[in-house]
Amino acid sequence: MSFISTSPPLARALAERNYSEPTPVQNAVLEAAAAGRDLLVSSQTGSGKTVAYGLAIGETLLDGAETLGRAGKPLALIIAPTRELALQVQRELNWLYQQANARVISCVGGMDPRREAALLDEGAHIVVGTPGRLRDHIERGRLDVSALRAVVLDEADEMLDLGFRDDLEFILKTAPEDRRSLLFSATLPKAIIALARSYQRDALRIEVAGADRGHADIEYKAVRVYPKEAELAVVNLLRFHDAACALVFCNTRNAVRHLEAILLERGFAAVALSGELSQSERNSALQALRDGRARVCVATDVAARGIDLPGLTLVIHAELPNDPEVMQHRSGRTGRAGRKGTSVLLVPASRRRKAEMLIGAAGVQAVWGGPPTQEEIRKLDQERLLQDPLLSGDAEEDDAGMIEALLAGRSANELAAALVRVYRSRLPATEEVGDPGFGRDERASRAPRSPEDYARPRDRAGPRFDNADPDAPRKAGPRGETVWFRLNVGRKDGADPRQLLPMLCRRGKITRDEVGAIRIFDKETKVEIDADVAERFASLTSAPDRDRVVIELVTGDEERRPAKPFADKAQHTKAPRREEAPHGHAGAPERGFRKPYEGKGKPFGRENTRETYDPVRRDREPPADAADFPRGGKPFAGKPKHGERDFGGAKPFGAKKAFGEKKPFADKKPFGAKKPFAGKKPRRDDR
């Protein structure tokens, strides 16, 4: 069956887009039995449902005419669950009804409602929108639905899951009773069937074969990963497949932000898409993917439905979805309209059973394996270099002089090496990722380690991430001599080794194998670099960069501070004997004592009243009469008893110091004088 049975203007629009044969769902809605009837259609995502219901309502709107009349009250209302899907439907219907001179406008959340109201006042043939915004326009009298001939609910199951049932029922009750109602959904749960029975008349139920199975054009892969290497596996998968457009799904907004930052740091042209972004930001991200300015989109499930990117060939589930339906909707962003695609699930060992359940419930076959290795990616890079368009084509006349100069001054090997360096400089660095094997790990088959092996540190491949002090001297290991560098960011600045490592490799033009320990302190970070590349690394990293991280060489005494003598440490940790306990008395229990307070203000707890000088406080010289002054403080003559006025030589409470002498306490005005003492209640013993 061809599109010849559709309205002539719609058939011409399809021919311009090279639509030669309809998809199964498009065939079903064009059958004679479906003409003019309400439809309840179940079809898998990516099967051409938008064009299907566009064709289905074509005869109802045009009624045999070549073009539609002047735009006025809307004739058709298309309701979609998300903003992105609504805007995509608007674009599809624009070209489909272009020959019919139809005016299609959108009304979605996140956009200016006043501008939408102005567009509605100008008139429209088809209105596409989200449930909440459409209801708002209807209640405010901006959207007149009295002339509607057709109402379409796209992804009806998703709208019910998102809690739009009240809005949908309001819109359907407001619309004329003689309009056509078309419900399109990937699945037909009981809630959808109940909604159809309430608001449809003698609806024709269409279930396209294969709606409950996985997509035949999508290849599923399950990749085993270590939990902390999932992000690195995403990097290698993107490099391995080298897709023109890829979509990476995460479960939370924070995960989207984190993974986007990692990909941008490694040199990928990536954008983010999540519910926290404004509508303009979400539109800009999708437009960047369509224009080719971005090749990777990191998104939440907000992009799991309705998003159609023609060049999208790879979907990566960085985090497993919650149910099989979500997994199918995510994967359905690729393999659309007969095109091939790949869907990759990253599966840690703790999520293996869940992944098997998702794959089995979705009815798909997945190929299990490990993440792509660096060697596999290098082989593909070599093949892609040989097929690069730069190596094909004739040279232009303006380049002849430059070509002769290069050939005269350089050998063929030097020119080839330069070309390889230029090619590799455009590619993000690969990562060293392991395959846990889920019980088949190669490390499990190694011989057990001896006690001597446990006593000495192991030599591990790759950088070592820890927060230990790098000041203790260390022998040269298998890496050979190393040089320390300092970064002006630390733990308080949110420094993370997984973000610092790619930044160091990018700025210093080195590999991760040439980076040693990354040790993070509160306000700085020290990094160990192979001595063979240290000079070049220092030269390249001295230039300012967009990350504003200052990298400088650690030289001289700063490279190694002497360790603290053991005797000094023992003096502060060893518990003194009972007769020497400085913080107690002769009868105090034997215990250690804390280091004296050296901060600002008073120490925690009550004031110390010892009459002996603390020898531990070497930073303060004792006064001449140290025996009478505890820690250099004021004289202490005991606490005055209740009712006494003798302060034991201490400064009287409330006394003021005169020039050169102390004011006697007796000269103070008594309580009850004209001017009371600071307005405070007199002490009990002075009443």
Decide yes or no: CATH 3.40.50.12240 for domain 3-207. Answer: no
pLDDT the model gives residue 528? 92
Interval 62-79 mean pLDDT: 90
Percentage helix, strand, coil for the chain under 3-state DSSP, each rounded to 5? 40, 15, 50
Cβ neighbors of 127 (< 8 A, separation 6 or more) are 74, 76, 77, 78, 104, 105, 106, 107, 120, 134, 143
pLDDT the model gives residue 642? 54
> CA geometry: angle at 279 spanning 195 and 272, to 5°?
105
- 369-425 tens-digit pLDDT: 999 999 999 899 888 888 877 777 666 777 777 878 888 878 888 888 888 888 888
Q: Which of 390, 371, 435, 386 shows the shortest CA–CA distance to 241?
A: 371
- Please provide the DSSP assignment of 128-150 as one string: EE-HHHHHHHHHTTSS--TT--E
Interval 92-119 mean pLDDT: 91
Q: At what angle do helices 374-386 and 412-425 cross, to 10 degrees?
A: 120
pLDDT the model gives residue 3? 57
Q: What would the two tokens of residue 210 be?
A: 């294969």
Q: Which amino acid is at 211?
A: A
Interval 310-321 mean pLDDT: 90
Equal CATH topology for 218-377 and 461-559:
no
pLDDT the model gives residue 227? 85
Is residue 75 within 8 A of residue 149, CB to CB? The reply is yes
- Please provide the DSSP assignment of 290-322 as one string: HHTS--EEEE-GGGSSS---TTEEEEEESS--S
Which letter, b or e, does each residue of 548-566 get, where b requires 16 or more Cβ atoms within 10 Å of its Cβ? ebebebbeeeeeeeeeeee
pLDDT the model gives residue 579? 41
Is the pLDDT higher at 359 or at 402?
A: 359
Dihedral of the alpha carbons of 137, 140, 143, 149, in degrees to the nearest 10: 100
Is the pLDDT higher at 599 or at 548?
A: 548
| pLDDT > 70: percent of the chain | 71
- 147-174 tens-digit pLDDT: 999 999 998 887 887 788 899 999 999 9
Give the separation between CA 86 and CA 91, rounded to whole angstroms: 9
Is the pLDDT higher at 358 or at 397?
A: 358
- Please provide the DSSP assignment of 392-414 as one string: SSPPPGGGHHHHHHHHHHS-HHH
Four-way CATH pick for 218-377: 3.40.50.300, 3.40.1550.10, 3.40.50.2000, 3.10.310.10: 3.40.50.300
pLDDT the model gives residue 5? 58
Instruction: Tell me which of 52-56, 405-409, 533-537 is least confident.
Output: 405-409
Q: What would the two tokens of residue 291 be?
A: 């224009």
Which residue ranges make up each domain of the chain? Answer: 3-207, 218-377, 461-559, 565-597+610-633
Give the separation between CA 529 and CA 114, rounded to whole angstroms: 59
Is residue 492 within 8 A of residue 486, CB to CB? The reply is no
Cβ neighbors of 517 (< 8 A, separation 6 or more) are 463, 464, 465, 466, 470, 526, 527, 528
pLDDT the model gives residue 513? 80
Q: What are phi and psi of 367, to 5 degrees?
A: -95, 120
Residue bearing tokens 């519910």: 275
Interval 85-103 mean pLDDT: 91
Does position 187 have pLDDT exceeding 80, yes or no?
no
Does position 276 have pLDDT exceeding 50, yes or no?
yes
pLDDT the model gives residue 216? 66
Interval 56-72 mean pLDDT: 88
Decide yes or no: CATH 3.30.70.330 for domain 461-559. Answer: yes
Does position 212 have pLDDT exceeding 90, yes or no?
no
